[in-house]
Amino acid sequence: MFRCLTIVALAAAGLMAHCTSAKADGLRFRNFTSEPVYVAVAHLRPTEGPLSSGSSGLAVIPPSGWIVRGWYEVLPGQTREPIYGRLGNTYYYYFARSATKVWEGSQNFKILPKYRFRFFREDGYGYHNLPSGAEWKGFREIDTGGRSGYTVNLR
């Protein structure tokens, strides 16, 4: 009986370890500030398979090129994961803002400042069906070092 319980406990521990390592995949943003932060992300479309569109759970196959989407609200002390699963690229880009701070960089992408959005930008062709009010913002580069998961700490 004791041996059986030990095996069950070890199996459960192995399952927990598996769940923890699976959670390590994806692109996450952790908010260390005292106010909500809103994040937009940009990345090249993965070369294989459908792309998960985050919390909606829908799969889409956009044209080749860039995918730019936002806004993801990250509350103080919380973590938000806009890109799930193994990261297929080394480089990702983000623009973030709170009431008092902006995280920006030198790679320009179009955003909608007041509304949720998802844009596709084909290399050599530009953006598809941009609504009025879209504006350029400089995004920061994230170098994941080829890891399958990465967390950006917003301070």
* Residue 61 belongs to a domain: yes
CB count in 10 Å sphere of residue 113? 14
* Residue 137 belongs to a domain: yes
* Residue 59 belongs to a domain: yes
How does strand 37-44 pair with strand 79-83?
unpaired
In 24-83 the beta strands, taken as DSSP E runs, fall at 26-31, 37-44, 51-52, 59-60, 66-74, 79-83
* Residue 8 belongs to a domain: no
* Residue 3 belongs to a domain: no
Does residue 129 contact residue 6 with C-beta atoms inside 8 Å?
no
The residue type of 15 is L
Query: If you average pLDDT over residues 64-72, what whole number do you get?
Result: 92
Report the distance separating Cα 87 and Cα 26, nearest Å: 6
User: And the tokens for 15?
Assistant: 């399952």
pTM of the model: 0.75
* pLDDT at residue 102 in the model: 98
> What pLDDT digit, counting tens, does each position of 10-60 carry?
343 333 322 223 358 999 999 999 999 999 999 998 655 444 444 444 445
> What pLDDT digit, counting tens, does each position of 116-148 carry?
999 988 776 788 778 999 999 999 999 999 999
* Residue 14 belongs to a domain: no
* Residue 103 belongs to a domain: yes
Expressed as residue numbers, the domain containing 139 is 27-154
The count of domains in the chain is 1
* Residue 16 belongs to a domain: no
